[in-house]
């Protein structure tokens, strides 16, 4: 496959810092259990804290940045293993749009109130695509919305 476009869109630093700080809090909380000044936690609470820590670290690693790739045949976007792949020939419509927090109520992979599935590491412009045989449209953030729209439409003919 010939790569025509590749972009990495980072998550807001403040979100990354907040997730990192919560991870550090849970690490310190669990590590304190091995000191003489341990925070008193019962076994079920320790398990819950450990599970939340693992989930927090997965979110930190997986959702730090989103990648967008266009090859001569495919559009691929997403976070790490959480990616979507569509053949350009199956893309019916591409529109430039603006991220609205009130629609997605957050960042990451979100279901929008407008019935789209959003891949939104942060705010800004993005593309809304309609794909054959998909029930919902997809929206994803990009720093090159108009350029990417033109590229997809030119390869889709």
pLDDT reported for residue 59: 87
Give, in degrees to the nearest 5, the angle at Cα 66 between 63 and 69.
150
Q: Please check the confidence at residue 157 and state whether its pLDDT lies above 70.
A: no
Over residues 62-106, the pLDDT tens digits come to 899 999 999 999 999 999 889 999 999 999 999 999 999 999 999
pLDDT reported for residue 155: 81
- Fold (CATH) for 66-155: PH-domain like (2.30.29)
Over residues 111-144, the pLDDT tens digits come to 999 999 999 999 999 999 999 999 999 999 999 9
The residue with tokens 């693992």 is 54
Q: Answer for the pair 47, 33: CB distance below 8 angstroms, yes or no.
A: no
The pLDDT-based confidence of 38 (bands split at 50, 70, 90) is confident
Domain residues of the chain, as ranges? 12-62, 66-155
């Amino acid at each position: 496959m010939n790569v025509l476009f590749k972009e990495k869109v980072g998550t807001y630093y403040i979100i990354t810092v907040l997730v990192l700080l919560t991870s550090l809090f849970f690490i310190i909380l669990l590590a304190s259990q091995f000191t003489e000044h341990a925070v008193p936690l019962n076994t079920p609470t320790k398990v819950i804290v450990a599970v939340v820590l693992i989930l927090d670290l997965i979110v930190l690693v997986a959702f730090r940045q989103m990648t967008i790739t266009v090859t001569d045949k495919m559009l691929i976007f997403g976070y790490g293993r959480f990616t979507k792949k569509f053949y350009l020939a199956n893309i019916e419509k591409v529109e430039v749009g603006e991220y609205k927090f009130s629609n997605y109520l957050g960042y990451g992979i979100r279901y929008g109130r407008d019935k789209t599935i959003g891949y939104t590491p942060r705010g800004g412009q993005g593309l809304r695509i309609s794909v054959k045989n998909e029930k919902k449209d997809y929206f994803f953030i990009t720093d090159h919305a108009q350029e990417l729209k033109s590229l997809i439409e030119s390869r889709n003919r």
